[in-house]
Amino acid sequence: MKIENAEQLRELYGFPSGRAKVKVLQKLDVHSKNFIEKSPFLIMATTSEAHKQDASPRGGTSGFVKIINSETLVIPDSKGNNRLDSLTNILETGVIGLIFLIPGVDETLRINGKAHISTNSEYLNLFDSEKNPPKTCIVVSIQELFLHCAKAFMRSKLWNEETKIKRSELPTMGQMLNEQLSIDAPVETQKEMVERYHKDL
């Protein structure tokens, strides 16, 4: 049976209770600030006016996302591939969702809010010590946040050594792209790709 409405979902799942029901905050507290300051990685979700979704990984040293105040974050738009999927979505809708991760920690921090792109020197100066300082930054106005439980990471054993695979078990990025795009050209090795990426970090 195809689920058609929220009532059908609630018949199956019921409603949240206890801490899950009341844990949503509207501002950063001491624990969410600490989580962001220790996080070197996040997933950024955005959507366009035409409902084109995008989820983009963002990373840096721990605390690469700067806390301006209890309701505002600044994310550097570090050098990438210039597709600008997230940025164009933000221009169109100003809607953003973030999931912060810390290696070795199974819990995550989720933040939803509004966003805009800025070239404000006050914000960009926060990242001027980087090898490739960002041209813009993403300013996030927090609307809601909450800590997310560890179940997904416990099921996947994401941080466990036993679940890691050797990179050689997958084709190289060059091999996959050449085949996907039907490119008849020499394949960039994994080592060559990593060396090229390091120049842009």
pLDDT > 70 in the chain, percent? 100
Give the pLDDT mean for 80-100: 96
Q: What confidence tier does 201 reach under pLDDT thresholds 50, 70, 90? A: confident
Backbone φ and ψ of 197, nearest 5°: -65, -40
DSSP state of 129: T
Q: How confident is the model at residue 61 (pLDDT cuts 50, 70, 90)?
A: very high
Does the pLDDT of residue 22 top 90, yes or no?
no
**Residue 48 confidence (pLDDT):** 97
Q: What burial letters (b/e) apply to 163-185, b meaning 16+ CB within 10 Å?
A: eeeeeeeeebebeeebeeeeeee
Q: Where are the domains of the chain?
A: 18-156, 165-198
Q: Any residues with CB less than 8 A from the CB of 191 and at least 6 apart, and which?
A: none
pLDDT tens for residues 123-167?
999 998 888 899 999 999 999 999 999 999 999 999 999 999 999
Angle, helix 173-180 to helix 190-198, in steps of 10 degrees: 100
DSSP string, 54-82: EEEEEE-STT-SEEEETTEEEEE--S--S
Q: Which residue has the tokens 């099921």?
A: 155
pLDDT (average), residues 44-65: 96
175-185 pLDDT, tens digit per residue, is 999 999 999 98
Span 27-46, mean pLDDT?
98
Q: pTM of the full predicted structure? A: 0.93
Residue the block writes with tokens 């926060």: 126
* Beta-bridge partner residues of 98: 44, 111
CATH 2.30.110.10 applies to domain 18-156: yes
The pLDDT, as a whole number, for residue 189 is 87
Report the pLDDT value the prediction gives residue 106, as an integer from 0 to 100: 98
Residue-level pLDDT at 91: 98
- Strands across the sheet containing 137-148: 53-59, 41-47, 95-101, 108-118, 137-148, 72-76, 66-69
